[in-house]
Each structure stands twice: as C-alpha cells, then as structure tokens.
Amino acid sequence: MKENWQQQLQSLLNCDLKTLYPLARSLNRKLEFYVGPTNSGKTYNAMQKLKEANSGLYLAPLRLLALEGYEDLKASNIQASLITGEEQMLNEDAAHVCSTIEMLDFDLDVDVAVIDEVQMLDDADRGWAWVNAIIGCPAKKIIMTGSVNALDAVKRIATYLDEDLEIVKHQRKNELKVLPKWTSLDKLEDGTALIAFSRSDVLKLKQKLQKKYSVSVIYGNLSPEVRRDEAKRFREKKSQILIATDAIAMGLNLPIKTILFTTDTKFDGVSKRKITVNEIVQIAGRAGRYGHFEAGYLGATRRDVLDHVTQEFEAPIKTIKPPFKVKINSAQLEALAAHIKTNSLTKVLKFFADNMYFSGPFVAANISSMIEAAKIVDTRFNLKLEDKYLLAQAPITTKSNIILQAYEAYIASVIKKKVCHYKPSITLPQKAITQRDLLLVEDEVKKISLYLWLSYKIPELFPDHDKAYILRNSFNSFIEKSLKGNLIEDDMSKKPFSKPFPRREKEEKESANHKKNYKPRRRKTI
C-alpha cells in the first residue's frame, strides 16, 4: 500500500505540460515569432495578421493593452469581445477576442492568436502565464511578439513542443541616438520623458518641474484608465513633459522624442540595484516614435547616470535562460493536498515548488504574491482548499491597509457564503492636498479592482459590479484632477491612513451609504 502511495505521488510530481492541453495538441499548430526592438512595427504587423483571420485572439500583458487591441479591431470594423479580470464586454457575433493573458480560454480554438510581449515569460510572478499560453493556446497559428532576449527561450519551448517555428525579424524604423552630454532639468525640450523608478520620485519631480512646464505623470500604482488619460494629455501636447517610471516600457505608444534617465538605480522588490541593459533598452526604445520623429534620443539628467546608461546601452542584451516558471493548477493542487494530507495552501505551494519535476525546460514557480495571499487565507478556518486557491490568485498588495482589510472582509463573505456589497473606505474631498491623500485614493481604486475581480469569479457573493465600476470612474476622475494640481510632499514614514478624507457638507446629505468614516484596525499577525 505504501509503495502504491509513493508511486502515485511520484506520478503526480512528474509532469509533461504538453499533455495538459489536449485541444492545442490536436491542432497542427504553427509558431511564428515576430522579434525586434520597440518601434520596429512587430506588434502592428501581428495585429494585421489577426485582422485578416476569420477568428482570432489577442493576448495582452496589461488590461490597458487588451483594451487598445479591442478598440483597434473595432476601428477596423471587426467585431470583438473584451475579457479581463475586471470586465467582460461580450459580443455574441464576434469571432475575435482581446484578453489579458491570464484570462486565456484553453477550450476556445481560433485561427490566429497573438501573444504580445513574450519576453514577459521571464517575469518572476507572471511568467507562467506566457509559458501556458505558448504551450496551450488552441490556435492554428500562434504569433508571438517580443524582444530579441526572448529568442532563445522561444526556440527552446518550440523544440520541446516539436512544433514548427518561423522567426520573423524586425528592425527599428528610425535611429536611436545617445546624447553626448547630460541634460539639465532647466533645459528640457517638449516631447521629453523623464524616467524615475518610484512613485515618490515621480511626484517629487512633478512638484519641481510643474512650475516651469506642463507635466503628465505615469507610474505603476495608477489605474490603467488614469495612465491612459495622462498619456492622452501628453499625446495631444496638452503637457510638454512626461515623468514616468518603467511603467511606460510596455503598453503605451507615446510621441516621445527624448528619454532621459534621472537615476541609474531602482528597487526591484528585494534590493536597490543598478538598472540593467535589458531595462534600459526596453525603456529607451520608446523614444523617437516612428511617424513622429526622424530619430529618438537617449540621455540622462546627471553625468554619472549618463555614463552608466551609455555603457549598458552599448553592452550585449542578456538572453532569457531556462528553466521557465510554471504555476500549479487546480488539479495538481487537489491531488498533492490529498497525498500529503493537508488543507494548508501554503504547504501545498511549497511542496509543489520543492518537489515538482517537469519534462522540458521548466521549473515549478514559487510566486511571492500568491504565497503572501496563501498565508492570509490559511489563517481562516472553514475555508475549502479550492476557495483558498481562488482567493490566493486575487489581485492584492500587502502594502495597503485598505486592500488588506477589504481582502479579509471578502474572505469572510466566502466563508459565510454571505453576499458582500461594495462599500468605499473613503469619501472623496474636493481635492487631494498631499501625496498621501492621492495614495489613499489610488489604493481605493485597487480595492475596487479586487472587488470587480471577485464579482466575475463569484458573482453570487459579490453582486455590485456595476456600482463598483461607476465608483471607480469617479475615483479615477479625482486622481486625474489631482495630478494636474499641486501636491504637498508629506512624511511617508508616518503611519498612513490615520484619518479619512474630511467630508463635504453636501456629500453628508446626499450619500446615505457613506455614513461611517474609514477607521483602520490593527491586523492580526500572520
């Protein structure tokens, strides 16, 4: 009996990913990789092939890009549906779907699928989604787009699949030049994008430069809607200067003439380090958008930063090396939990990461965000393992009290099977006074995104999709308005969110649903 148990366990711990996607294997798939730098037209050409197909799928790394793909198809009079973790615009007559890559339907076969930004398969937390898509997407033709650092990786996966791969190389359409001298912040030309690597630094630069220039800002904490609006202001020349994090490296087509790095270091979630050649090349490629400028320019606002950027820019691109990360699926989760006799999601995920073996160039992923969520759900009793797994995939950040408190409340609703209505944690004031005020609203938008995600996964328990969607628009409008004004730099080291925004008298009368101010409570130690 023991031998049989061990044999079964060994069978579970050995996985050939090809076998998990029978529909994809039944098709005589052809793989194409449109490889090249930013501004080479690779995504445009891939989308043209998608438009020519009778049925198709566009898989995007960002909700913003999925929306742009959806609008592009509609502008070409092609009926399409949009599916992301937060919204679904379904057209029953449509044969084309634009989707974020995590929302890929492995049971929907199409003629052509475009997998955008395939170099993302190297991402520590999300790379598994690109691996799954390349292996399992049920399309007769798979067109991948990405940078040259992903070329070897794509070749390795194609060899593992034993599928034909055609490499279509794209060259940048105009020249990208490195400026010989550093550029003073007092002498910025219109169409310049300044690159910082934190929200705080972006807002500090905004505060400093908006006295002389009209400014747009883009950073990761902003919702896709606000990023899009800020980009639109810059695109329409309502702002002269763009200040951004590396969030502009993917998903935004902007008329940038010059990219200037304001620093050569970034915090990558683990430590502060020098930016790499791959990061510099990806960001710098946004300069000199073809059709707007004859050339793009790369520089820095400090001499030492320019020296590092120049040196790295001229260095060889670092290729993505195997193994490639694979996430546990629900079937593996349940089977492993049964064999090691545990209801702890954290223990199953750790066991998977430590013991799983895959055929081909793959390794089990130990996804940090999922582990953090697993530690939270494991503290709650009466929660099924399948529910834990679902909740652990929710879009949360443990850095925000607002989101953590909402997450815990939503978990409680799942346990009790009790309907959870969306309730804002804050009431909007006339305007944001400090950077912390703005952060509070940004976090509320993320809380709404969490609720919207759950409303699609468990609609019977989270029914307020429309209400949350409308309120998100209100909060986004407030953020966009605040970014155009002056924000006082406050002491972020102090405990945030100590008080809610003050209420306006008019809101007190009009909003019967918002009678209680937000008061944070101490979270239990996990």
- Cβ-Cβ contacts under 8 Å for 459 (sequence gap 6 or more): 465
- Cβ-Cβ contacts under 8 Å for 396 (sequence gap 6 or more): 369, 372, 373, 403, 404, 407, 450
Query: Which of 316-325, 432-441, 516-525 tops mean pLDDT?
Result: 316-325
pLDDT at residue number 293: 87
Residue 332 pLDDT > 80: yes
pLDDT per position as a tens digit, 38-48:
889 999 999 99
Q: How far is CA 12 from the centre of its chain?
A: 31
pLDDT at residue number 515: 35
Considering only CA atoms, which of 244, 210, 207, 240 is closest in space to residue 227?
A: 244
Preceding amide of 323 cis, omega within 30 = yes
In the 8-state DSSP scheme, what is residue 179?
Answer: -
Return d(Cα 377, Cα 387) in angstroms, integer. 9
pLDDT tier for residue 491 given thresholds of 50, 70 and 90: low
In the 8-state DSSP scheme, what is residue 353?
Answer: H
Residue 342 pLDDT > 50: yes
pLDDT at residue number 490: 64
CA distances from 70 to 75, 84, 314 (A): 9, 11, 37
Question: Measured at the alpha carbon of residue 228, what is the angle toward residues 90 and 201, in degrees to the nearest 5?
Answer: 140
pLDDT at residue number 518: 33
Amino acid at site 382 = N
Helix, strand, coil % in the chain, rounded to nearest 5: 45, 15, 40
Return d(Cα 190, Cα 170) in angstroms, integer. 29
pTM of the model as a whole: 0.88
Return d(Cα 422, Cα 519) in angstroms, integer. 17
pLDDT at residue number 366: 80
Residue 99 pLDDT > 90: yes
The CB-side HSE value for 212 (13 A sphere, CA atoms) comes to: 10
- Cβ-Cβ contacts under 8 Å for 434 (sequence gap 6 or more): 487, 488, 489, 490
pLDDT at residue number 3: 55
Query: Which of 22-31, 82-91, 252-261, 374-383 tops mean pLDDT?
Result: 22-31
pLDDT per position as a tens digit, 211-223:
999 999 999 899 9
pLDDT at residue number 522: 31
* Higher-scoring residue by pLDDT: 309, 430: 309
The helix (run of H) or strand (run of E) holding residue 156 is helix 151-161
* Higher-scoring residue by pLDDT: 511, 358: 358
Cβ contact 221:245 at 8 Å: no
Q: How far is CA 28 from the centre of its chain?
A: 31
Mean residue pLDDT of the chain comes to 89
The helix (run of H) or strand (run of E) holding residue 30 is strand 30-35
The CB-side HSE value for 312 (13 A sphere, CA atoms) comes to: 24
Paired tokens of 87:
């919204």
CA distances from 189 to 241, 242, 472, 475 (A): 8, 11, 35, 32
Return d(Cα 383, Cα 123) in angstroms, integer. 30
Ordered domains of the chain (ranges, CATH): 2-169 (3.40.50.300), 175-313 (3.40.50.300), 394-510 (1.20.58.1080)
Count of residues in the chain: 526
In the 8-state DSSP scheme, what is residue 120?
Answer: G
Considering only CA atoms, which of 404, 316, 389, 306 is closest in space to residue 352?
A: 389
Share of the chain above pLDDT 90, in %: 79
Decide: helix, strand or coil at residue 86: coil
Among all chains, which residue has been given the structure tokens 């502060």? 272
pLDDT at residue number 251: 66
* Higher-scoring residue by pLDDT: 89, 11: 89
Considering only CA atoms, which of 237, 234, 308, 245 is closest in space to residue 282?
A: 245
Return d(Cα 101, Cα 510) in angstroms, integer. 41
- Cβ-Cβ contacts under 8 Å for 66 (sequence gap 6 or more): 58, 60, 82, 83, 84, 98, 99, 100
- Per DSSP, the chain holds a count of helices (H) and strands (E) of 18, 20
CA distances from 267 to 10, 246, 281, 282 (A): 40, 12, 18, 17
List 324's β-bridge partners, or say none. Answer: 362
pLDDT per position as a tens digit, 250-298:
767 789 999 999 999 999 878 899 999 999 999 999 999 877 888 999 9
pLDDT per position as a tens digit, 143-164:
999 999 999 999 999 999 999 9
Residues 192-220 have a mean pLDDT of 94
